[in-house]
Amino acid sequence: MSNPTKSDVNAVATLQEKIDLVPHLILRIALHLPTWRDRFTLFTLCKSTVSLLELESTWRWCCQRLKTEQSMYVPNVEILASSSWKQLFREMMNPSGSHSISVSARMRPLRAIQFHDGSEDGNAATSAKVIVPISQRLQMIKRAKNCSSSEARKLLWGQSAQEDPWSTSAIADKTDTDKENKSNKGPTDFGGAQPGMVSITDTSVILVAPSAGLREYNFNHVLNASASQQRMFEKGANPIVGQFLNGINGTIFMFGQTGSGKTFTMFGPDSESSYAVSSKMASRGVVPRTFSEVIDHCDYLRKQNPNTTVTLKVAYVEVFGNDVSNLIMDKEKVGAWAGVAARTVLEGHASVEVNTKEEAEALLRQGDQNKRRAATAMNDRSTRAHSIIMMDLYKNENDTETHSQLVLADLGGSEQLKKSKAEGEERTNAININTGLLALKQCIDAVNENKEHIPYKNSTLTQLLSGALGGNSRTSVVVTCSTEPQHASESMSALTFGKKSMNITNTAEMEMRLGTSAIDAIDARLKELEEKIRTTERWENQIVIRKDLDGEEKQLKSVLVGAEDLREEYEGLIARKVALVGC
């Protein structure tokens, strides 16, 4: 290759100057390039074009091209306000593969503490302070003061209380420790481990609980008590909803103590908000927001290509023990017996077609009215069973059908009977809820321990959620926690469940199948041609003249004749089928 001439160098310099002046023209040029490989080759042409890849606006443009050219789902700007367009583009370009379960922890605002005499103190919840066990407290003093263990013990035992970083902590009211403190055999400001939250950041929670001490948990997202429903949807649900609309199975489920905000997060604070699909009500939860996004995208697909067939089917069931009730069919029992109930739901036999937001609202309203609810000491609107919404989306475009499934599960709250004070029927309901949650924890533990057998069939709940736990689904778990000190043990248990869930890896693949119309037509024609060729084609002797250096030579050769046109069509159909199937 010859060296570039001076004119070539000047031409390149002139081109770069023009690119520097009008970088937005690169995006205009990219519009006319056929592949993303060509587009990114253009983006890396020079320093000015490479700088475009550092802008979120460029990646937003890329996402919008996927929506326009390939009819893929792209969330609106409000939903993606605090997220990365670059990360979204990467997810859209490579949705399949192995992914760890995403876990978000959401804190419920403090509520008034109820005392044994029935009175309440609205300030008690906020004034309760935290102290930690002696062993962990010594470690913190050593780190903060950079001192030895003996010096830390002297500081802790009251010789210089002002230097103790935890000297302002509250003293647990235990009369048994008073004599011990007076005898100077222990720290003068320590009476035991009082539970509570220590720290909450965007990705971590630190709390102390009886018999466990101080524990730190790290998650994908942590939402404090002031987080809005919009932010919860953006962080914990919308990525899964987007993948579902683009052909990948997804699961979102809530886990936590009763009264910790699961149903609030999944549906909303009241019945009105729980089925507000059409309205922009700020308090509506994950379910109505999901229906709104799904139906809007289905309408977009139909509008973009009238030849595209889009079908959305929805099942809304309640799992009580091992029984499944259809909430949109007047609580009709699903499946003849418990063993087939989950399969009946998963295969779509309990589903109805939904086309509009009004139909979705009617479905949610009917389901909400049929739910099991009761007031307990911990929650005046406690859901007394597991509620599951299952969406199946079928898209048929150019004889290619894509099917994806989304599971939205509002699990019943785990509870201690001595706290919820459930009696009679409600006590039975609580036991059924806890039994299902125990089976779910056993599956989580088995997956974490890499056991060959995962006990999905131990309960109907785990059968319905099997795809979310190491199966073919992108999964998001939302752990809800009560921030009151008296619920620290339950919050720690829920956070531990979330931590174990993060260790599970699912392999989600796009489920596509060619439309039966094209393949069946080709197969039928191939069989027809095979029969015609068999009956029409015959062997015939022909004289073939072969030329060589010695001259011409006549040879007798047997060849197949009579079906040349049929064979040409047959071979063409075989090539077409291979092109469609890809193998």
Beta-bridge mates of residue 546: 553
* 31 three-class SS: coil
pLDDT in tens, 66-120: 988 888 998 876 665 556 888 888 888 887 777 888 999 999 887 654 444 454 5
- 495-511 burial code (b ≥16 CB/10 A, e <16): bbbbbbbbebebebeee
What are 352-386's pLDDT values in tens digits? 999 999 999 999 999 888 886 544 444 444 556 88
- Cα angle at 252 between 250 and 255, to 5 degrees? 150
Burial status of residue 238 (CB atoms within 10 A of its CB: 0-12, 13-18, 19 or more): buried
pTM comes to: 0.73
Residue 284 or residue 436, greater confidence: 284
Q: What is the mean pLDDT of residues 494-519?
A: 75
pLDDT at residue 563 above 90? Answer: no
Contact assessment for residue 553 and residue 545, using Cβ atoms and an 8 Å cutoff: yes
Residue owning tokens 């409600």:
426
Q: Which amino acid is at 269?
A: P
Q: For residue 313, name the pLDDT band (cuts at 50, 70, 90).
A: very high
Provide the residue count of the chain.
583
- Quick one: pLDDT at residue 279? 86
Strands (E), 191-307: 196-200, 204-209, 213-218, 221-223, 250-256
Look over the chain and give the mean of its residue pLDDT values, rounded to a whole number: 77
Of 63 and 580, the one with more pLDDT: 63
pLDDT, average across residues 477-502: 89
Mean pLDDT of 462-484: 87
Contact between 44 and 58 (Cβ < 8 Å):
no
The pLDDT of residue 580: 56
Interior CA angle at 429 toward 428 and 430, to 5°?
90
Q: Positive or negative CA dihedral for 369, 375, 381, 384?
A: negative
246, 509 Cβ separation under 8 angstroms: no
Q: Is the dihedral of CA 304, 308, 309, 310 positive or negative?
A: negative
Instruction: Provide mean pLDDT across the span 478-496.
Output: 88
**pLDDT of 217 over the 60 cut:** yes
Instruction: Please answer whether residues 314 and 389 qualify as being in contact, where contact means their C-beta atoms are separated by less than 8 angstroms.
Output: yes
Which residues touch 407 (CB under 8 Å, ≥6 apart)?
A: 250, 251, 252, 253, 388, 389, 390, 391, 464, 465, 467, 468, 473
pLDDT bracket for residue 145 (50, 70, 90): confident
What distance in Å separates the CA atoms of residue 86 and residue 214, rounded to the nearest whole number?
A: 37
Residues 425-449 pLDDT 10s: 555 555 666 677 888 888 888 888 8
Q: For the chain, which domains are there? A: 6-93 (no CATH), 101-109+217-514 (3.40.850.10), 131-194 (no CATH), 518-581 (no CATH)
pLDDT tens digits, residue range 4-20? Answer: 666 655 665 565 555 45
d(CA 117, CA 122): 15
What pLDDT, on the 0 to 100 scale, is given for residue 184? 41
Highest averaged pLDDT of the listed ranges 268-272, 335-339, 578-582: 268-272
Q: Is 544 exposed, middle or buried (0-12, 13-18, 19+ CB in 10 A)?
A: exposed
* pLDDT 10s digits, 389-406: 999 999 987 777 889 999
